[in-house]
């Protein structure tokens, strides 16, 4: 049993020490990605299946980079052209893969709870790469690492999560992770996109985005998940940008130390303007870089790795 247990399904049930363990382990893995030969043999001989039932570019590629840099063997499975389209169940798919002696499954699925459901039914380690509207733990972890890099701490930071909180698994994982590490958390967005009773989680609600910007040390800007919406959540994309968009004009009144995060993909000109996404407040590209290191740390820890991975003999 490692410090994380068998699986990583979400941050809700991790302790603060477990979250810190992942962030601390990610630090030395950052250096691997800066080498000329970006590889260590920490997971040599391990086989990892990336099982993606939803479209993904950023998360899937980040996991693939992490796996390859740890020298694992990887197999990518998507629903397109797979037996899932022929009616095979999630568990049957995973059990058939497990019969081929795999070690880990990284799963993204449109149904909340799918990752936990699978983890209870197979022996292999399971990592949740996003399940429905439930959680996306590795995204929240890379957000936490990016904040810690910039401010040197998480405790005491004021972080506002802005936009489509209702449909966002990223928001839920961020709320759990930030609160566990001592940050203050607020949400801001249209009333139709803020879950009822979210204050019970210990967060503040700002109906006006200007108030959230004035309060926050960091903004985590969520995209409008139009694919999960029926009509009626917002009058129009143009109206959403006018009232809730993170624009250069709004940030001109903010502290110069304010940072802006975005989990991607971005709807430029909707929840965030291009001159903000590419401007001095943005830490969006460092988030992407940190994503590989965080996922390397999670894979390594779930495989039973300890702090002495460098001593195992590295590839140069």
Q: Could you report the per-residue pLDDT of 15-25, keeping only the tens digit for each?
A: 999 999 999 99
Query: Same domain for 121 and 174?
Result: no
Query: Same domain for 177 and 303?
Result: no
Residue 316 falls inside a structural domain? no
Query: Same domain for 158 and 224?
Result: yes
Q: Is 153 a catalytic residue?
A: no
Q: Are 59 and 129 in contact (CB under 8 A)?
A: yes
Question: What is the rounded CA–CA span in Å between residue 236 and residue 213?
Answer: 22
Q: Are 299 and 43 in contact (CB under 8 A)?
A: yes
Q: Note the helical H segments in 186-247.
A: 209-215, 237-244
Q: Judge whether residue 80 has pLDDT over 90.
A: no
What is the pLDDT averaged over residues 106-123?
94
Q: Is 108 a catalytic residue?
A: yes
Instruction: Considering the candidates 46, 59, 148, 295, report the single residue annotated as catalytic.
Output: 59
Query: Same domain for 146 and 69?
Result: no
Hey, is 250 helix, strand or coil?
helix
Query: Same domain for 100 and 185?
Result: no
Instruction: Considering the candidates 46, 60, 69, 108, report the single residue annotated as catalytic.
Output: 108
Instruction: Considering the candidates 46, 109, 136, 172, report the single residue annotated as catalytic.
Output: 136
Q: What secondary structure letter does DSSP report for 135?
A: B
Angle between helices 58-69 and 284-302 (to 10 degrees): 50
Query: Same domain for 20 and 161?
Result: no
pLDDT of 79 reads 67
> pLDDT tens digit string along 177-235?
999 999 999 999 999 999 999 999 999 999 999 999 999 999 999 998 766 555 557 87
Residue 239 falls inside a structural domain? yes
Query: Same domain for 232 and 256?
Result: yes
Query: Same domain for 81 and 155?
Result: no
Residue 315 falls inside a structural domain? no
Question: What is the rounded CA–CA span in Å between residue 130 and residue 68?
Answer: 21
Q: Which residues contact 74 (CB under 8 A, 6 or more apart)?
A: 47, 48, 49, 50, 64, 67, 68
Q: Are 185 and 175 in contact (CB under 8 A)?
A: yes
Residue 3 falls inside a structural domain? no
CA atoms within 13 A on the CB side of 137: 25
Q: How many CB atoms lie within 10 A of CB 208?
A: 11
Q: How many domains does the chain have?
A: 2
Helix/strand/coil percentages in the chain, nearest 5: 40, 15, 40
Q: Which domain holds residue 282?
A: 137-287
Nearest to 277 by CA among 266, 291, 293, 288: 266
Query: Same domain for 124 and 141?
Result: no
Query: Same domain for 119 and 145?
Result: no
Query: Same domain for 267 and 298?
Result: no
Residue 1 falls inside a structural domain? no
Q: Which residues contact 251 (CB under 8 A, 6 or more apart)?
A: 213, 258, 260, 276, 279, 281
Nearest to 136 by CA among 308, 252, 263, 50: 263
Query: Same domain for 131 and 188?
Result: no
Question: What is the rounded CA–CA span in Å between residue 215 and residue 160?
Answer: 8
% of the chain exceeding 90 in pLDDT: 79
Q: Judge whether residue 316 has pLDDT over 60.
A: no
Q: Which residues contact 270 (CB under 8 A, 6 or more apart)?
A: 223, 224, 237, 240, 241, 245
Instruction: Considering the candidates 6, 58, 68, 228, report the single residue annotated as catalytic.
Output: 58
What is the pLDDT averaged over residues 282-298?
97
pLDDT of 198 reads 97
Residue 143 falls inside a structural domain? yes
Per-residue pLDDT band for 1 (boundaries 50, 70, 90) equals very low
pLDDT of 172 reads 97
Residue 7 falls inside a structural domain? no
Q: Is 44 a catalytic residue?
A: no
Per-residue pLDDT band for 293 (boundaries 50, 70, 90) equals very high
Residue 6 falls inside a structural domain? no
Question: Tell me, what CATH number does 31's domain have?
Answer: 3.40.50.1370
Per-residue pLDDT band for 87 (boundaries 50, 70, 90) equals low
Q: Which residues contact 250 (CB under 8 A, 6 or more apart)?
A: 209, 210, 213
């Amino acid at each position: 049993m490692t410090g994380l247990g068998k699986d990583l399904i979400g941050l809700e049930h991790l302790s603060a020490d477990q979250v810190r363990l992942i962030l601390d382990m990610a630090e030395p893995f950052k250096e691997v990605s800066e080498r000329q030969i970006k590889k260590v043999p920490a997971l040599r001989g391990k086989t990892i299946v990336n099982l993606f039932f939803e479209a993904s570019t950023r998360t899937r590629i980040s996991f693939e980079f992490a796996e390859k840099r740890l020298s694992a063997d990887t197999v990518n499975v998507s629903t397109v052209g797979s037996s899932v389209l022929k009616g095979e169940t999630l568990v049957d798919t995973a059990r058939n893969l497990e019969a081929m002696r795999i070690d880990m499954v990284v799963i993204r699925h449109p149904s909340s709870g799918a990752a936990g459901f699978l983890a209870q039914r197979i022996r292999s380690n399971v990592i949740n790469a996003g399940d429905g509207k439930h959680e996306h733990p590795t995204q929240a972890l890379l957000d936490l690492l990016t904040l810690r890099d910039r401010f040197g701490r998480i405790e005491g930071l004021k972080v506002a999560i802005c936009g489509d909180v209702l449909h966002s698994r990223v928001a839920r994982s961020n709320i759990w992770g930030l609160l566990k590490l001592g940050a203050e958390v607020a949400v801001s967005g249209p009333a139709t996109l803020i879950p009822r009773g979210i204050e019970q989680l210990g967060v503040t609600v700002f109906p006006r985005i200007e108030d959230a910007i004035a309060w926050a040390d960091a903004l985590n800007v969520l995209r409008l998940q139009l694919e999960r919406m029926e009509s009626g959540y917002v009058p129009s994309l143009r109206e959403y940008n006018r009232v809730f968009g993170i624009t250069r004009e709004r940030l001109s009144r903010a502290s110069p130390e304010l940072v802006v995060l975005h989990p991607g993909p971005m709807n430029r000109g909707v929840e965030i303007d291009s001159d903000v996404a590419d401007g001095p407040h943005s830490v969006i590209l460092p988030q992407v870089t940190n994503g590989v290191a965080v996922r390397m740390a999670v894979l390594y820890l779930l495989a039973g790795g300890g702090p002495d991975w460098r001593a195992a003999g590295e590839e140069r």
